[in-house]
Structure 1
């Protein structure tokens, strides 16, 4: 049975925008005791802020107990509830997924370069005879060049992404990836120079 919340209409405030919720109508649609979790679901519908990412504040207190009855919150007609949280943005979410794919590619290139450096160290330590060194060094140099090419391609891909002004998290992730890729390219360039020196006749 719906609980008694009177005919109160409360006002949500989020990001400078205001929304109204008629608690009586909401309680009737629930058909059961109106709880904070039901209020949060309605907040999500109106503001596009996911329930898990919401922080609801009434008179300086956070409404954290999802099972608490709304009738016990002291809400009156015109009461204000501050909504803190980030709206769900499909475009931003898709862009972040693309960032994760690129991040995986970046880590792959980093691992490849680590393996190349490991083999170079083995050669420097004399673990390969002269004939095998002659065969291995050109292969490693080619792999290093491919690593640089792949990283350059990833930089171009990141640079070509059109990001909205509000996509702060995506922008931060892109900036981090760009720096990581640039470090890999620098290390790969150094490795390529070292390989060329190692291939020179002693």
Structure 2
């Protein structure tokens, strides 16, 4: 299982190689210091896994993820960050990342998490979104589907329907349909009222 490590700090790149020694089946085949070099190397090496720093010097993580998915669609992308930056992590996950781990993760935990990602699971360190359990309960009570919730959450961030469509890869009419359905389920007349009710319900 080949791994590409993308981070602008040499100590992190070297550290990951040491951590992955816990599993001889995983091999670091390359590294990159910037988003642009990561995209180029992913296209060349076709790694099974890409461990990507959330903050790179030349590109935002969502931009890098979108390009990585274009040049190497089969690669599994896991964001690796020292910061529990909620907005940054959510943006990365919305862009197609398959997981997010904090850099202080133990070697055995890192290997276990990466194996889960390879099985098709989305793995996010519970310390990043500690209130996600409560949010899941609130979501179940609201009757909103995951897609409806995702569209509503992006609307709450101030995104327009065309911007939501671009972020999610959905058609604009589909975004409109999901938003209208969310409004109906929340008993709201418009998106502002829906965002307010969703916030009160602990969804946002």
Q: TM-score, normalised by structure 1?
A: 0.23
Compute the TM-score of the two structures, normalised by the length of structure 2: 0.23
Q: Which has the higher contact order (CA 8 A, sep 6+)?
A: 1
